[in-house]
Amino acid sequence: MTKLNLFELFYSILKEKGVEKAKIYLDKYKGFAVDFDTDVIENAGLLKKSNTKLSMTDCIGYAVATQEGVKFLTGDKEFENMSNIEFAR
């Protein structure tokens, strides 16, 4: 996960459960957030250009996962025909 994914998690919980619960999850997962370099930005941009339905955050997450050699965890149907995906629903 990148810090962008961490933001999405925090914001989602903030809207549903409030600031205290959101902070708990932020603290729990902040150690797992990774940074990314300009190669990731380039690969994510190319992916986004080829599939405009994907979010910028998901494109960056997928590019980071690919670079790191791990599967990208998602529930988004737009990733169904792509390699290196682990679906969570």
**Same domain as 42, residue 12:** no
**Same domain as 22, residue 53:** no
Total domains present in the chain: 2
**Same domain as 63, residue 29:** no
**Same domain as 85, residue 59:** yes
Model confidence pLDDT, tens digit, residues 33-63: 999 999 999 999 999 999 999 999 999 999 9
| SS (HEC) of 1-46 | CEHHHHHHHHHHHHHHHCHHHHHHHHHHHHHHCECCCHHHHHHHHH
- What is the domain range of residue 14? 1-33
Distance, CA of 9 to CA of 16 (rounded, Å): 11
Model confidence pLDDT, tens digit, residues 18-35: 999 999 999 999 999 999
pTM of the entire structure?
0.83
